[in-house]
Amino acid sequence: MTTAFPSTPDVSIVVPIYNEVENLPDLVERIAHAMSAQPLSFELLAVDDGSRDGSADKLRELAATRPWLRPVFLARNYGQSSALQAGFDRVRGRYVVTLDADLQNEPDDIPLLLTRLETDPGVDMVSGWRKDRQDAELSRKLPSRIANRIISRTTGVYLHDYGCALKAYRRPIIDRIRLYGELHRFIPSLAKDVGARITEVPVRHHARTRGVSNYGIDRTFRVILDLILIVFFMRYRQRPLHAFGGLGLWLAAPGGLILTWLLVLKLLGESIGGRPLLLAGVMLVLMGVQMIAAGLIGELLMRVYHEAGGAAQFHAQEYVPANRPERAESG
């Protein structure tokens, strides 16, 4: 479906698209314009996430005359994370850039991020920082600020602006992470986890002029669930027993103390039959034992996972030169 590309591009730009038909011509033109002002060659992976407004046809039309435009069409609407991942699965460049399709990000800022990667070998990921964000204060900026704080604190990766879609990466970082659910909001945390050295660069931001935002406030709940998951994953993935077992001990220990105390009373000849404490003690011990058992199952799962070769235990800092998909070493 895609036009053959003459050579491997330096940069792969990935854009998730859901009902953005009015923005597409401008988007494509402005990206092309921005990229023509700098030396690196590029491709644009435009991922249509099951749009219902004719975005797919518009993409086909635009791609017909632009060999660097590679559309990807998803079967239905899967959400922004999946759309991004569909693009990531197809990137060929040694740098990967992401931005939104609605032109809230400024395509002319792309070279800025790329220059940083080109000139600073100590940086693997450049994240846009919307210092002057053009969105509604109460419904968007405030929740976003709170989310930023929470995500920074809990994942230990401190950024001013997690939510800015405009970001640039060295390719190996992209190859190492997998997005699903709402994980696109946590990319910096995921990237740090696989060894990325991250920096922030202030970028421009515009109000949406065409189309409507695809999100409302309802997504907060799913985001919280994914946050719990990611924090748990980052902290305890190697040792599930530490999480579950720790909790289990905190439950079982007081339970054990209570039961010992009651046993002593019993041995001293007192009747302990009618005491609510007995019930509490037994329950705590049972819950604790179950938690520890859950931790052990977690350990077994990790072992199976590692032995099946699914998990990369480390990533090398020195990269294999461009154009060859790097494989994660496991040891």
Number of residues located near ligand UDP, criterion CB under 6 A: 16
Q: Within 10 A of 76 (CB to CB), how many other CB atoms are there?
A: 7
Q: Within 10 A of 326 (CB to CB), how many other CB atoms are there?
A: 15
The region of 76-84, 228-236, 262-270, 308-316 touching ligand UDP under the rule CB under 6 A is 76-84
Work out whether 104 is an interface residue with Mg ion (CB under 5 A).
yes
| Cα(59)–Cα(258) distance, integer angstroms | 68
Q: Within 10 A of 300 (CB to CB), how many other CB atoms are there?
A: 12
The region of 101-109, 242-250, 297-305, 315-323 touching ligand UDP under the rule CB under 6 A is 101-109
Q: Name residue 256's amino acid.
A: G
The region of 98-106, 177-185, 245-253, 272-280 touching Mg ion under the rule CB under 5 A is 98-106
User: With 0-12 CB in 10 A as exposed, 13-18 as middle and 19+ as buried, what is 130?
Assistant: buried
Q: Is 12 helix (H, G, I), strand (E, B) or coil?
A: strand
Shortest Cβ 190–ligand UDP spacing (Å): 18
Region 33-52 residues binding ligand UDP, contact defined as CB under 6 A: 49
User: With 0-12 CB in 10 A as exposed, 13-18 as middle and 19+ as buried, what is 188?
Assistant: buried
CA trace torsion 43, 48, 53, 56 (10° rounding): 60
Work out whether 80 is an interface residue with ligand UDP (CB under 6 A).
yes
Binding test (CB under 5 A) with Mg ion, winner from 102, 161, 175, 226: 102
Q: Within 10 A of 138 (CB to CB), how many other CB atoms are there?
A: 7
The region of 75-83, 174-182, 237-245, 285-293 touching ligand UDP under the rule CB under 6 A is 75-83
Work out whether 180 is an interface residue with ligand UDP (CB under 6 A).
no
Work out whether 226 is an interface residue with ligand UDP (CB under 6 A).
no
Binding test (CB under 6 A) with ligand UDP, winner from 20, 109, 124, 226: 20
- C-beta of 51 vs 104, nearer to Mg ion: 104
| Cα(34)–Cα(31) distance, integer angstroms | 5
Shortest Cβ 140–ligand UDP spacing (Å): 7
Work out whether 79 is an interface residue with ligand UDP (CB under 6 A).
yes
Shortest Cβ 102–Mg ion spacing (Å): 4
Q: How far apart are the first and last CA of the chain?
A: 39
- C-beta of 77 vs 154, nearer to ligand UDP: 77
| Cα(98)–Cα(126) distance, integer angstroms | 11
Token look-up 């924090």 returns 231
Q: Name residue 165's amino acid.
A: A
Give residues with Cβ within 8 angstroms of 276, minimum separation 6: none
Q: Name residue 252's amino acid.
A: A
Binding test (CB under 6 A) with ligand UDP, winner from 152, 154, 214, 290: 214
Shortest Cβ 309–ligand UDP spacing (Å): 32
Shortest Cβ 51–ligand UDP spacing (Å): 8
Binding-site ranges for Mg ion (CB under 5 A): 100, 102, 104
Binding-site ranges for ligand UDP (CB under 6 A): 16-18, 20, 49, 77, 79-80, 83, 100-102, 104, 213-215
